Amino acid sequence: MEGSVSSPVDRGLRAHAWVPRAGRAVVLSHQITMTAMLRLTRDTYNEMVAHAYRGLPYEACGLFGARPGTTDVVAFYPMKNVAASSEIYQLDGMEMMNVESAADAAGAQIVGVMHSHTHTTAYPSPTDVSDAAMFDPFGAWHFIIVSLKDAEPVLRSYRMLDGKITEEPVVVEVQAAL
Residues that bind Zn ion (CB under 5 A): 125, 128
Shortest gap between Cβ of 151 and Zn ion (angstroms)? Answer: 20
Shortest gap between Cβ of 117 and Zn ion (angstroms)? Answer: 5
For residues 14 and 164, which CB has a smaller minimum distance to Zn ion in the complex? 164
For residues 52 and 74, which CB has a smaller minimum distance to Zn ion in the complex? 52
Q: Are 110 and 65 in contact (CB under 8 A)?
A: yes
Concatenating the DSSP letter of every residue in 3-72 gives T--SPPPS-S--S-EE--BTTB--B--TTS---S-EEE-HHHHHHHHHHHHHTTTS--EEEEEESTTS-E
For residues 67 and 80, which CB has a smaller minimum distance to Zn ion in the complex? 80
Contacts of 123 (CB under 8 A, 6+ apart): 145, 156, 158, 165
Shortest gap between Cβ of 122 and Zn ion (angstroms)? Answer: 9
- Rounded to an integer, what distance in angstroms lies between the CA atom of residue 39 and that of residue 37? 6
For residues 41 and 125, which CB has a smaller minimum distance to Zn ion in the complex? 125
Shortest gap between Cβ of 26 and Zn ion (angstroms)? Answer: 24
Closest residue to Zn ion using C-beta atoms: 128
